[in-house]
């Protein structure tokens, strides 16, 4: 019969341990979110800078930003032209194929620049949304864990208050009975 208080204390200790563990998980989640942000921020920053450069509309800045792609196009065109020179029979078709390779190079180079400019605004918006989404997910996880651990701490506190209330109620009841016995004793004694 005396095990009730001990069982309750053990339950409270267990709930405190669980709440403490949840708090530690929330802290770890916050640290992980910060580490994820620190690891991804340089990539976000590079992508943002690149797209901001493209979104200026400045032809010189755009040409500089897309230069690596233009170099790849030029290298592929040079290879195609060399293949035409080496393998195509002499004549009008060979000249037309060489001219077509140059036209395609210009079209691809122009497309890279214009599509880079036109897509830069959507890319910037997506970068902003991705950063906000990651931040919200991390915050949500940490907040949930803290809320759950806080609920556990509150339960332990409330159980302690209930136990004290029960103890005080029992003592008050005993005092009442004692008062009645004392009163009866005085009446009969």
Task: Give the pLDDT confidence of 66-120 residue by residue, as tens digits.
Answer: 999 999 999 999 999 999 999 988 888 989 999 999 999 999 999 998 898 888 8
**Residue 134 covered by a domain:** yes
Q: What is the dihedral of CA 114, 116, 119, 121, to 10 degrees?
A: -110
The angle at the Cα of 21, spanning 20 to 27, to the nearest 5 degrees, equals 90
Q: Determine the straight-line distance between the first and last CA of the chain, rounded to whole angstroms.
A: 36
**Residue 13 covered by a domain:** no
Q: Is 58 helix (H, G, I), strand (E, B) or coil?
A: coil
DSSP state of 1: -
**Residue 42 covered by a domain:** yes
Structural domain including 121 reads 26-151
Q: What is the dihedral of CA 47, 52, 57, 63, to 10 degrees?
A: -40
**Residue 37 covered by a domain:** yes
Quote the CA–CA distance of 19 and 7 in Å, as a whole number.
18
Quote the CA–CA distance of 92 and 98 in Å, as a whole number.
10
Quote the CA–CA distance of 2 and 185 in Å, as a whole number.
31
| Of residues 146, 154, 164, 152, the one with CA closest to residue 15 | 152
| Of residues 102, 104, 84, the one with CA closest to residue 92 | 84
Task: Give the pLDDT confidence of 106-156 residue by residue, as tens digits.
Answer: 999 999 988 988 888 888 888 777 666 666 666 666 666 666 655 655 665
**Residue 126 covered by a domain:** yes
**Residue 112 covered by a domain:** yes
- 54: enclosing H helix or E strand: helix 3-55
Neighbours of 100 (CB within 10 A): 12
**Residue 1 covered by a domain:** no
Number of domains, the chain: 1
More confident residue, 38 or 171: 38
* Band of residue 60 on the pLDDT scale cut at 50, 70, 90: very high
């Amino acid at each position: 019969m005396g095990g009730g208080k001990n069982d309750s204390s053990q339950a409270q200790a267990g709930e405190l341990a669980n709440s403490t563990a949840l708090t530690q998980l929330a802290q770890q989640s916050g640290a992980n979110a910060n580490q994820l942000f620190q690891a991804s921020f340089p990539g976000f920053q590079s992508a943002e800078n690149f797209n901001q450069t493209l979104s200026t509309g400045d032809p010189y800045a755009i040409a500089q930003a897309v230069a690596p792609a233009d170099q790849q196009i030029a290298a592929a065109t040079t290879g195609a032209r060399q293949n035409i020179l080496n393998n195509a029979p002499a004549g009008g078709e060979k000249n037309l194929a060489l001219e077509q390779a140059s036209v395609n190079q210009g079209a691809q180079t122009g497309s890279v620049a214009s599509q880079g400019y036109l897509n830069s605004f959507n890319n910037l918006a997506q970068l902003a949304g991705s950063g906000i989404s990651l931040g919200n997910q991390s915050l949500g996880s940490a907040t949930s864990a803290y809320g759950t651990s806080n609920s556990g701490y509150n339960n332990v506190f409330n159980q302690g208050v209930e136990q004290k209330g029960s103890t005080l109620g029992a003592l008050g009841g005993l005092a009442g009975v004692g008062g009645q016995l004392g009163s009866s004793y005085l009446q009969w004694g």
